[in-house]
Amino acid sequence: MRNHDTIRLFLVDDHPLVRDGLRARLSSLPEIDIVGEADGAAEALPMIEALEPDLVLADVGMKDINGIELAARLQERQPQVRVVMLSMYDNPEYVQQALQAGARGYVLKDAPASEIVAAIGAVAAGGTFLSPAVSKRLFRNQAPRPLLTPRESEILSALGRGASSKEIALELGLSVRTVEAHRQSIKRRLGIEGQAELIKYAVEHARKH
């Protein structure tokens, strides 16, 4: 996120009343600057590219392209933009799909407004946030584990084969800058500090696969 005092937020929801409510609640907070909004993912993608928000708050269940697919496309094109999903459903499968797509937060629509604000703050600061009800269901029968997106897994495998960022960029049709952003995301998700540790993990991961 750029170095400034406010969080540049973009809203995506196909229900005008929901967007109105979110805008009214969030725009009153000095730390949040709502830079744009859209009623669907197809409209949102070019706007997000142009406006470069820090964070996108998106509904999961939209008509054209759902919020999980939107998160995946943003992870692919603009991995520096963080995504918080807003959903009516606490189904663990939805939550897993959202996290694998690159979302950093998942909040229920019936949660108190303070929970949505907390999620925005946590994710903007580089962390993750799950509504307590979601977290309880998700981790009831399993231990938390790092989740990489399909693109991050591809890049990790390529690193394990000894490929450089430039070689990976050519192979996958990405810019070197985007590959580097993915590398940073992989390190963050896996709790890895330096490049040497990342390469070591990638090589070990490649051996297992």
Please give the single-letter amino acid code of residue 91: N
Query: What integer pLDDT is reported at residue 141 of this predicted model?
Result: 46
Measured distance CA(199)–CA(181) in Å, rounded: 15
Stronger pLDDT, 34 or 88, i.e. the higher one: 34
Query: What integer pLDDT is reported at residue 89 of this predicted model?
Result: 81
Query: What integer pLDDT is reported at residue 143 of this predicted model?
Result: 47
Q: Which residues pair with 36 in a beta bridge?
A: 10
Q: Give pLDDT tens digits for 25-51.
A: 999 999 999 999 999 889 999 999 999
Count the Cβ atoms, other than its own, within 10 Å of residue 31: 13
Instruction: Name the residue among 102, 147, 100, 105 with its Cα closest to residue 122.
Output: 105
Buried/exposed 38-69: b ≥16 CB within 10 Å, e otherwise: bbbbebbbeebeeeebbbbbbbbbbeebbbbe
Query: What integer pLDDT is reported at residue 126 of this predicted model?
Result: 87
pLDDT(117) > 70: yes
Query: What integer pLDDT is reported at residue 72 of this predicted model?
Result: 92
**Strand ranges for the chain from DSSP E:** 7-12, 32-38, 55-59, 82-87, 105-108, 129-130
In the chain, what are the domains? 7-138 (3.40.50.2300), 150-208 (1.10.10.10)
Q: Give pLDDT tens digits for 154-202.
A: 898 888 888 889 999 999 999 999 999 999 888 888 778 788 888 888 8
Instruction: Record the tokens describing residue 68, joined without a space.
Output: 């999980």
pLDDT(63) > 80: no
Please answer whether residues 37 and 9 qualify as being in contact, where contact means their C-beta atoms are separated by less than 8 angstroms: no
Once rounded to an integer, what is the mean pLDDT over residues 102-117? 89
pLDDT(142) > 70: no
